[in-house]
Amino acid sequence: MNRRHLFSLAAGFALALSSTAALAQDKFIVVASTTSTEQSGLFGHILPAFTKKTGIQVRVVAQGTGQALKTGEQGNADVVFVHDPVAEQKFVDAGFGVDRRLVMYNDFVIVGPKSDPAKIANTKDVVAAYKKIAAAKAPFASRGDSSGTHAAELRLWKEAAIDVKTAGAGWYRETGSGMGPTLNTASGMNAYAFTDRGTWLSFKNRGDLVIAVQGDVRLFNQYGVMLVNPAKHAHVKVAEGKAFMDWITSKEGQDAVAAYKIEGEQLFFPNYKPGANS
């Protein structure tokens, strides 16, 4: 075998390795999701199992639900995994998402200072609690970022017949940021805040904050997953995206969700049922 032949074989081998690496690098999906799934540590817990099973990497873009849906609408994600059923249905109805599936749930809580200036501790009526916070003009930190959490918070202010845009001057503060930073703000201000339980349980900088309100059925927090419509964006990775959705709704994926706990407390509760999308 002459030197030229050896060089040709080596070059071919290098090209094959390069092509294999490129293919492996291409085997990923982008999931636009909420800050709560990322900041709670859930994705860090479940995604390695999915990648090990399928070889598909998941690149998470953690945003508020409103922005995550916008990312999907613009075709900058393959899958959207969020928690605002009303906005999700609008996304599907507008043709931007397909195959929406309910995946899991947890709940929202109101946290606040132990001193409890609004006197709402241990109540299960979230609307009554909101009215007391407004009446006391007690400091309240809101995400203010069009996230699923923010949308749920605003729906409850509306139910309490309180317009925080006008009535909240001096006590209602919008951070325009994710749940973790908003909780940091609430901790620093000794303010009330509306948060998903998962992020709260994983939050370390609590300061003087404790859970003040929980248990109201209106605090139910459902998460859904859907594929970005390939008819709108041809580059969507349909096979890989569906593989992720099939896994997260499989027994293995649902068990992985249920197994995620912090200090023995379960953060998310799987509730996928075939055919259920609302």
Structure tokens at 204: 């370390």
* Chain CA centroid to CA 236, Å: 21
Give yes or no on whether 3-105+222-270 and 107-219 have one common fold: yes
Share of residues in the chain with pLDDT > 70 (%): 90
Q: For 211-231, how does the pLDDT look when each residue is reduced to its tens digit (9 = 90+)?
A: 999 999 999 999 999 999 999
Please name which of 277, 243, 270 lies closest in space to residue 256, comparing C-alpha atoms.
270
Q: CATH number of the domain at 107-219, please?
A: 3.40.190.10
> pLDDT, tens digit, for every residue of 145-166?
989 999 999 999 999 999 999 9
- Answer CATH for 3-105+222-270 from 3.40.50.700, 1.10.1040.10, 3.40.50.300, 3.40.190.10: 3.40.190.10
Q: Considering only CA atoms, which of 34, 37, 78 is closest in space to residue 57?
A: 78
Q: What is the mean pLDDT of residues 75-88?
A: 96
**Domain map (residue ranges) of the chain:** 3-105+222-270, 107-219
- The CA distance from 270 to 225, in Å, is 12
Mean pLDDT rounded to a whole number for the chain: 91
254-271 pLDDT per residue, tens: 999 999 999 999 999 999
pTM greater than 0.85 (yes/no): no
Q: Pick 56 or 275 by higher pLDDT.
A: 56
